[in-house]
Amino acid sequence: MEQITIEFLRTTYPEEITKDQFYRICHISKKTASYLLESGIVPCRNSGKKTRKYKILLTDVIHYLKQRELDPLIFKAPENYYKNGYGERPLGLRAVKLSEVRKDHLRDVFAKQISRYDDVITPDEVAEILGYTTKTVAEWCLKGELKSFLIYNRCKIPKEYLLDFMISERCLMIVRKSAKHKQMLEDALKKV
């Protein structure tokens, strides 16, 4: 760690800092900061209060930053640490990365789920399938994210294009997925 950074920390922060200051200085999440403090990896004083309970010496933070620079893996939280109380993290939070084989399986599962629809469907039907508004589906079509074409000034979407969209990075990257979309993904990934 550079001497300039150490001097900056010493002149900017008091000798004892809070958890809030700690995670901001170290550029880590609140959850990671909690893990480091609760596990004793970064020494701290715990007052036992509900809020502002941790007091961390700035020298311990500087030591942590130096050690993390040398070997970041020793400070990594256990694999299951970031899971919520219901098992694995819900799919709607972040991107779901899939291999090509899993994408093919996922596409087959989705194809079975939407088999009752015609080969060419409308934005209203896509909205019904995925649980979003028709306006959202229309925006996807206008932006070219969901391939479609116009017939007599009406938007039409071939089911194959919808399936391509459903396994695309764009669709899997939606942070605020609809309840219906989340459920479809969870059900499909259980079968994959």
Verdict on whether the full-model pTM lies above 0.85:
no
Residue 136 inside a domain? The answer is yes
Which of 10-14, 37-41, 60-64 is least confident?
A: 37-41
Are 111 and 185 members of one domain? yes
The predicted model gives 4-21 an average pLDDT of: 88
* pLDDT of 91: 41
Are 112 and 65 members of one domain? no
Are 62 and 113 members of one domain? no
Q: What is the mean pLDDT of the chain?
A: 83
Are 109 and 187 members of one domain? yes
Q: Three-class SS of residue 78? A: coil
**Tokens linked to 68:** 């993390």
Residue 93 inside a domain? The answer is no
**Tokens linked to 186:** 């969870």
154: containing domain = 100-191
CATH number for position 13: 1.10.10
Higher-pLDDT residue of 75 and 154 is 154
The pLDDT tens digits for 130-150 are 999 999 999 999 989 999 999
Q: Could you give the number of structural domains in the chain?
A: 2
Residue 34 inside a domain? The answer is yes
The pLDDT tens digits for 13-42 are 999 999 999 999 999 988 888 888 887 888
Residue 115 inside a domain? The answer is yes
Q: State the alpha helices, DSSP H only, in 39-99.
A: 58-70
The predicted model gives 98-112 an average pLDDT of: 84
* pLDDT of 4: 67
Higher-pLDDT residue of 95 and 72 is 72
HEC profile of 120-133: EECHHHHHHHHCCC
Are 71 and 35 members of one domain? yes
The predicted model gives 49-60 an average pLDDT of: 87
* pLDDT of 88: 43
Element (H, E) at 105: helix 100-113
